[in-house]
């Protein structure tokens, strides 16, 4: 059995893999030329660099591939047409980043409700200024994306006594996480009431530019927008207009159309915005946790058991989390 690790220079880049893969022929492929060289005869590929888009260029070399594990929650980099139509099984790192992203979202919400940025500005000026702040308890949040990340954000916000609803592919009754789940097709009609509109949707043709001028115009002027899902879900120009015109109160973006965000992009200096460099899900031990998840799935593969986190390649995500 042969395993190719895309995006890794050596096997030690993947914590614990050397011990777990004893008896398996493991080859590392840090770049596209190495990947093309190592893919022939490979049974399994671990996509360690989840942003890497070199697999499509080497697909003609994958003459024996049966399973790809993508070390990221989003798999858009791997969903080129030849892979989608193939019999190769695709799994992802669903579940690894959920709590970290939920805490990140909550952190931003608390910082805005408690005016932390204004307090820090006053501190820098040695200016004692009394302020009253908002409570999150009793406010409402609408989460676009009701998979594992969206559900964890909902659980954390509910623990803070927010009212939480979701937006999925279809409308359905609420559950332990969401009071109700709306259909994505009704998006413009349901964003008028929430205090927080949160995007955690995967990258698919149906989610592209979901957050457009119509959404921001429909939101109330005191509401804030958060996007920790995919940059392609947002019309950046529409958000800029909404912020500069005061249509909404503010925004936090952790994902962008172009990453790194170019220094001349006006989002950097837009009013009432918090910009972060795609870090909401990354924590100090996340690589070790991703490796252990793959190693667990590798054991299942060797034993002929069903793999966890199998992606529906037509939809672009693990479909029992939609």
**pLDDT tens digits, 94-108:** 999 999 999 999 999
Supply the pLDDT for residue 272.
Answer: 98
Share of the chain above pLDDT 70, in %: 99
8-state DSSP, 30: -
Averaged pLDDT, 181-209: 96
Cβ atoms < 10 Å from Cβ of 182: 21
What is the predicted pLDDT for the residue at 315? 92
Q: In this structure, what token pair is assigned to residue 138? A: 């009793």
Determine the pLDDT at residue 216: 98
> What's the predicted TM-score (pTM) here?
0.95
Q: With pLDDT > 90 as the criterion, what percentage of the chain qualifies?
A: 97
> In the chain, what are the domain boundaries?
2-96+284-321, 98-275
Does 2-96+284-321 match 98-275 in CATH topology? yes
Residue 12 CB neighbours (<10 A) = 11
The per-residue pLDDT for 84 is 97
- Biggest alpha carbon distance in the chain? 68
Q: For position 319, what pLDDT does the model report?
A: 83
Per-residue pLDDT of 19-32, as tens digits, reads 999 999 999 999 99
What beta strand segments (E) does 7-95 contain?
25-29, 44-47, 67-70, 89-92
The whole-number average pLDDT for the span 219-238 is 98
pLDDT of residue 174: 81
> For the chain, what is the mean pLDDT?
96
Q: 2-96+284-321 domain in CATH 3.40.50.720?
A: yes
Superfamily, domain 98-275: NAD(P)-binding Rossmann-like Domain (3.40.50.720)
pLDDT of 125 above 60:
yes
Separation between Cα atoms, residue 205 and residue 185, nearest integer Å: 14
Q: Answer whether residue 311 shows pLDDT above 60.
A: yes
Q: What is the pLDDT of residue 322?
A: 44
State the pLDDT confidence band at 4, using cuts at 50, 70 and 90: very high
pLDDT beyond 70 at 283? yes
Distance from first CA to last CA of the chain, Å, rounded? 34
Q: Tell me the chain's radius of gyration from C-alpha atoms.
A: 21
In this structure, how many other beta carbons lie within 10 angstroms of the beta carbon of residue 322?
16
Bridge partners for 303 per DSSP: none
Among the residues of 91-192, which ranges form H helices? 98-113, 116-124, 148-159, 187-190
The pLDDT assigned to 321 comes to 43
Tell me what the mean pLDDT of segment 273-285 comes to: 97
């Amino acid at each position: 059995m042969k395993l190719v690790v895309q995006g890794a220079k050596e096997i030690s880049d993947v914590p614990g893999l050397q011990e777990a893969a004893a008896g398996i022929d493991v080859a590392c492929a840090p770049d596209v030329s190495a990947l093309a060289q190592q893919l022939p005869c490979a049974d399994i590929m671990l996509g360690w660099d989840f942003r890497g888009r070199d697999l499509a260029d080497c697909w003609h070399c994958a003459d024996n591939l049966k399973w790809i594990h993508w070390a990221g929650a989003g798999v858009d980099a791997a969903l080129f047409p030849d892979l989608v139509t193939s019999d190769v099984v695709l799994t992802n790192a669903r579940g690894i980043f959920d709590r970290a992203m939920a805490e990140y979202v909550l952190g931003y919400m608390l910082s805005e409700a408690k005016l932390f940025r204004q307090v820090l500005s006053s501190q820098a000026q040695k200016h004692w200024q009394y302020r009253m702040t908002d409570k999150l308890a009793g406010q409402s949040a609408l989460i676009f994306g009701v998979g594992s990340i969206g559900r964890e954000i909902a659980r954390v916000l509910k623990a803070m006594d927010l009212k939480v609803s979701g937006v999925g592919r279809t409308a359905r009754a609420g559950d332990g996480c969401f009071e109700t789940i709306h259909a994505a097709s009704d998006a413009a009609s349901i964003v008028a009431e929430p205090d927080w509109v949160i995007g955690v949707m995967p990258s698919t043709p149906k989610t592209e530019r979901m957050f457009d001028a119509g959404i921001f115009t429909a939101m109330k002027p005191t509401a804030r927008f958060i996007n920790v899902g995919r940059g392609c879900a947002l019309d950046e120009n529409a958000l800029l207009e909404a912020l500069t015109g005061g249509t909404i109160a503010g925004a936090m973006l952790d994902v962008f159309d172009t990453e790194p965000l170019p220094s001349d992009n006006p989002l950097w200096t837009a009013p009432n915005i918090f910009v972060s460099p795609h870090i909401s899900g990354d924590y100090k031990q996340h690589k070790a946790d991703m490796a252990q998840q793959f190693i667990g799935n590798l054991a299942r593969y060797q034993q002929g058991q069903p793999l966890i986190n199998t992606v529906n390649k037509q939809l672009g995500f693990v479909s029992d989390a939609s």
